[in-house]
Structure 1
Amino acid sequence: MTNLTGKHIVLGITGGIAAYKAAELTRLLRNAGASVRVAMTHAATAFVSPLTFQALSANPVHTELLDTGEESAMGHISLARWADLVLIAPATADFIAKLRAGLGDDLLSTLCLATRAPIAVAPAMNQAMWDNPATQENVRCLRDRGMRILGPEEGGQACGEVGMGRLLEPQQICDELGSFFDNGVLAGLSVLISAGPTREAIDPVRYISNRSSGKMGYALAEAATQAGAKVSLVTGPTALNAPRVHDLSRVESAADMYRSIMDKVSSANIYIGAAAVADYCPAAPEKQKIKKNESEMVLTLKKTQDILSAVSASEKRPFTVGFAAETDQLEDHARQKLAAKSLDIVAANWVGREQGGFENDDNALFVCWNGGHAYLPLAPKKTIAEQLIRLIAERYHAQNPAKNPR
């Protein structure tokens, strides 16, 4: 929690029953060394008195956009500039919709429009409101704009129902805030990541591809960004919203991905090849749609360029991490790939099973390097990505002690 020492945090409280938890959150933030100023919506004041937060924060509480005392000096602007972080906790469905629309009809929403500080949103609402497609779309939009969504979690709610929508506990929120100000294990480093499948054209209509969803690569891009890296993401076609990264390139085929990766690799400290790149592509794609006239068709395939081997052999070679998706002999194949392609790390996972691998939200990895290995047990891909990034950082800094930002 020491990385909150001296930080300026504006705590925005909106009108939900979970507003009472913001009192404990204020206390924890101050105990961690942060300066806290509270901004409340009118609805929030119906649940908890502003006087409570004035006592806990040791600062006046802000509730009015057109306050005759502070607004003569543009108080909402000065508050927006004062903040190192704006935290909305709890954030109701109504306020999330307001943030998505860019409305500024009260002090807190106007402050969010005016600040250049990062914004974190901790949702709290009835489980049906959280599951509503409109709320889910609004949350996705805020996340795509770079706002950090903290929670919610599943549990009992004030209405008596049980489900997703419960505000994270104040200590959990404080723990999450640490990454906003932590230099991170990859601070100052450039990380190049490939993700998703490739599509190899048979004709203008059909293509060869695989079952990769891109979820693992996207989770790695998010985790590397949170670890302080400047992330470049090269992605094949996916149905996912792209994470917020320094540079995003969308490609279609293995050849497209090869060109994009090789154009960027000289400026990367670390390359993580999480994409499921096609090993073969049609030798002569048809320019017109193939008609279904014959009972059989022979398709001649040729090997695609090996991106991992090319990166590993490049003149300005980055620390190179490969992935291996296997249906048998997982550990043996991973170690063979490590040696055959002169990689620094290989992360291998099972595919074709009920849990983990392609098209799943969870994964498990066997990770190996020269002289060691680790097992990352089945967990959400976000968690696996964070664990793998820490492993990559440890191995990178062990090989490059002079470049260790710490």
Structure 2
Amino acid sequence: MLKAQKLTLAVLIQATLISSAYASEQSEAQGFVEGASASVLFRTGFIDRDKKNVAPGKDTRSTVQSAMLNAESGFTQGTVGVAVGVVGDYSVKLGDNKHSGNGMVPRDSNGNTYDQWLRGGAYAKARVSNTTVTYGTQVLDIPVLASNTARNVPEYFTGTLITSHEIKNLEVIAGKFTKDQMSDQVYNTDNDGNGNSLKRAYVWGTKYKFNDQLTGSYYGLDSKDKLTRHYVDVNFKQPLSTDSSLTYDLSGYHTKWDKDASVSSAKPNVDLSDRSNNIWAFSTTYNKGPHSVMLAYQQSTGNSGYAYGENADGFQSIYLPNSYLSDFNGRGEKSVQAQYNVDLGAFGVPGLSFTTAYVYGWDINTVTTQKAKESEFFNQLKYTVQSGFAKGVSLRLRESIYRNSQAYADDYYMADTNETRIFLDIPVKFF
């Protein structure tokens, strides 16, 4: 880990020294007040998980109304630019939500759901040339440490992140985070609400655009007393004609757990110093006009499943194609997917899109069998208003039908479930 930190620091320093090769972002700073922005996103969210073949009362259903604030000053002018900002949300549950438990509504120490709650925090930024240092509360989009944004409100991390664009088409990041506030947590603590304490997490990585067709990336994570994780991705887009193309994507993770760390899907009686997982996926997507078809194959190997929950984050740090309600990441699992997406704007309804997909997984290694299976049929319809006073307002309807072998449900995973999600987003920009 020490070598990785030194390498990342060396790259950042070198990039700063040759920054003249690329125009400076800081030179375009508008000013602390002049560059300021503020907006609120009003979201009404509903998640219903109708669980089959389980005892009554195990279903989870929540409806929440939230207002999410994002306000940030501009950077001050000069060699070193400084900016400050705040992110936060205020939510109210709609209905009794007696069957909460799907990441939407927090509970108190007695297990009762909150009627209303407030979350968030502030951050500060400093920028030199094309390198920015951010300290404070942040929403992360890093393949090895990502904020869960699939609920009504986002997951927040507290720490420091350095982002550098000193070389054209190259992004380099490095950071350290010490607190995690999941979507259904009221207080920003070092515990994610699932018994996993985020003591300290280092992240580093780089992404490079070789040309208009080829991009590649690598990211790493060292989570103290938890695990070390690496991610790579290569994406190539092959133009075929004026309105069609083929895109190939190869991505994967390598994870090794620290001794004595909790691993929910580890093979029984495995050596505590040798628990690891490799999971990778290859997908190809054919695009023609408003239509796209994707085929994907994903495979997990090692004496554990991907088990991303033990990373003490919000379960979104899995940037692989076979990921919907299930992530098809069981121990030894192989899975295939067929997906179809259409932009219905080409057929007279601008802003409307539809996605359908089917994923099938097999050879899942459980305590009682190595042949467990799972499948998911996914459908999503999304409409975004394109113009007028309601421009930007969006409605998303999502449905998943998930089924698996009883052996897999008994070991680690959810029961057969029909899930419905409805999200209505109304953005309001103040300035």
The TM-score by the shorter chain falls in which range?
Answer: under 0.3
Q: If the length of structure 1 is used for normalisation, what is the TM-score?
A: 0.25
* Structure number with larger C-alpha Rg: 1
Q: Which has the higher helix share?
A: 1
Q: If the length of structure 2 is used for normalisation, what is the TM-score?
A: 0.24
Q: Larger relative CO (CA 8 A, sep 6+): 1 or 2?
A: 2
Q: Which has the higher strand share?
A: 2
